[in-house]
């Protein structure tokens, strides 16, 4: 197994009405998240990785106009049970956040080795369902990013 690169993308897939797509991890039932994944190679452009992960995990194509780099970067500790997938001594990951806005809810085709279920939820419910704090925080930014509410109302 090739070690994973500790640089990843998080893609919040959502509709114009702020319904958010969540997918449940196959190896961890109950762990709901947005599309995520590590770079395949060190020089892989972040936008290319985001498009690839969306396609691999959901079967959706990310149109150029819909994918946005939010210029938000999180650094977090990798869960100990997942560190074996990285080079020895790797403890932290850097995650770059993207948004993918779709006109409406769309059916998805999951990668069964990675995910077991999907659901579209209103943004507040989606944020509450995520196991990852970075994913929750990113989803909570949706109304602010769109200019619907002042920042304090996003939480």
Write out the chain's pLDDT in tens, 155 residues. Answer: 799 999 999 999 999 999 999 999 999 999 999 999 999 999 999 999 999 999 999 999 998 788 999 999 999 999 999 899 999 999 999 999 999 999 999 999 999 999 999 999 999 999 999 999 999 999 999 999 877 655 444 44
The predicted pLDDT at position 150 comes to 52
The predicted pLDDT at position 74 comes to 97
Buried b (16+ CB within 10 A) or exposed e, 54-65: beebbebebeee
| Closest by CA position to 6, among listed 56, 65, 78 | 78
Domains of the chain: 7-153 (3.90.79.10)
The predicted pLDDT at position 153 comes to 46
The predicted pLDDT at position 145 comes to 87
Q: What is the DSSP letter of 153?
A: G
- C-alpha to C-alpha distance for 105 and 44, rounded to whole angstroms: 29
């Amino acid at each position: 197994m090739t070690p994973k690169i500790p640089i990843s993308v998080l893609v919040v897939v959502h509709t114009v009405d702020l319904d958010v797509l969540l997918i449940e991890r196959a190896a961890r039932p109950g762990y709901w998240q947005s599309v995520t994944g590590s770079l395949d190679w060190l020089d892989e452009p972040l936008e290319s990785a985001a498009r690839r992960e969306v396609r691999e995990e959901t079967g959706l194509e990310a149109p150029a106009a819909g994918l946005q780099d939010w210029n938000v970067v999180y650094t977090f500790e990798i869960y100990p049970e997942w560190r074996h997938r990285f080079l020895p001594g790797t403890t932290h990951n850097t995650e770059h956040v993207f948004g993918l806005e779709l006109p409406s809810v769309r059916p998805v085709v999951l990668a069964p080795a990675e995910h077991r279920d999907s659901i579209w939820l209103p943004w507040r419910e989606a944020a509450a369902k995520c196991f990852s704090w970075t994913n929750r925080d990113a989803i909570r930014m949706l109304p602010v990013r769109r200019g619907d509410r002042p920042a304090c109302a996003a939480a």
